[in-house]
Structure 1
Amino acid sequence: MESLPASICRACRLRLLKPSSQTRTFSTSSTHMYIPPESPAFVDVPEPHQPIRDQKSIVKGILPVPRELFPAQRPDKPGKEYLANVTRDPLPKNVPHPDRLTEVGRYKQRMAEMRKSHLREGLKELHVRKTTIDAQIAHRSETRQKEHARLKSQAQREDERLTNVSIPSAMRPQKVRELSHEEELAIYNARKAAHDARLAAKHEERLDKLHTLYMNARNFITTREQLTAAIDATFTSTRSIWDTGVPDTVEEMIKRGRDKTTDQGRAGARFPGDVNERALRDQERMQRIAEKLSGGKI
């Protein structure tokens, strides 16, 4: 009865494993005599055949960063001078005579000497351990770097070259070309010249904008009298808009815009408005030509 098949439910297994003087019946149902309702095994909950591993309890908090015993700012640790200062012996005038010491005093004196010796030995052993570990780490790092450089620079094996997939040379990874000092200097000079050219172009553009602003400053409105005169000239007029005739319709304006191949204007006739527009365009063109030749805004 010690080993029962896994197909039997837990309730039946508990009932069968429990020693009893009564005769086991042919019924497979469990009785409340063996598993009372308040028992956790009263309700059969299936469990996996593989045992569940106990999870580790979560420890709250974090461990502090260990203190550096041998910082780079103290290269004298653990030298003789440092150990002598740390484990300093008391002055002779402060040391009582051995005959005057009690048992407690002699015990404290022995404990003080023991603490000093333990501190000296501990610092020396920790320094030796740190030096050994640093040397091992540096040796492993140097070994890995050399191995990496060797593998990176070695040639491709012949079997790999023969069985490799055909790849265009343009798609293959290219090795970084190391430039010489002369090539780096030439690239630097070319980039510096391009940068100076961009700065010079920006400087010329700023000067042109400044000159344009200076030439247009004659028309700026800076006082109230100029503002009043400009408003009167724009919005005050004794003439009627119908004195020049009936305004053009939209269709006539569209036709005039499309008729660019002839100088006759609308319907073969030249109107004063067309003459004024041509004169204004010619004047603007001549002004742009003069500005280009003189190199400044007019």
Structure 2
Amino acid sequence: MASRPLVLRTQRAYICPSCHNHQRHLTTTARLSAISPESPRYIDIPTPPQQTSTPTKRIKGVLPVPRDVMARRTPASISASIRDRTTPHEPTSPKERFEAHMTSLRKTNLRTAAEALHVRRTAAEKETQQRSRASRRERDAALLAPEHFADRLTAPTLDASVAAELARYERKAALPDPAREKRLVKARKRVARTEEGLKARRADALHTLYMNARTFVVDEQGLNRAIDEAFGTVDEPHNFGGDMPSLWSKGAPPKINEMALGMAGLGRSALQRDVELGQMEVLKDRVRRMAEGVTGGKMDP
């Protein structure tokens, strides 16, 4: 009896009966039922391809400002320090060979450093000058550039008088005064009239002074004569329009306080002394006022 052929069967994985209908096959299209409405991918929005940008390389540190190598030393001294020997010398010992090697290395480094510093400084100065000239050109171009059409079209419409006033304010000019010349002519005429009046009054005053100079009191005899003419002499005093002599010819009359002191029992000598002092003060005041009236000047009391 022939045997049956052996059939190999693969065992399938267990699938839940409730999930059997939701099984998805291999596909690239997402089903709406697989993405919830809360997900940002619920609505398919095309995205641009990834943009590649070259990252900026960070340069650590800053080079110092190149110094002027010729500030303290002359080119001749630098050339003398880096020049080679005029006569060749072959070292004979290891120490001399080492020193010769170090000397050559020092000269090479000094020469290279001086050249590099000079190149760097020249390049830095040239770049600074170019930047300054470019900035100056941009500034001059901006200052001398005509008005942009957008500014001209959007500028507010101003009255001619307002525009002229704004232009005058920008120029810091004076206010317009059409009647200035007429006012100046009137002012000059007014000043001329005032000057003429002052000149005439000054000439009249000078002439009056000249005419009255003959009666000026310039010495003691003239003063005594003027006093006698005004008040008379002791023998013939002036009565000032009356028959009786003047009340003040013998001094001031007694005051109320003097009479009260006399009634209070003061001595007659003290009362007489006060009366004499009062008469002297009155006489001094009269002489001072008379001298002021005659001479026309103020005198000290």
TM over 0.5: no
TM-score interval, normalised by the smaller of the two chains: 0.3 to 0.5
TM-score normalized with structure 1 length: 0.34
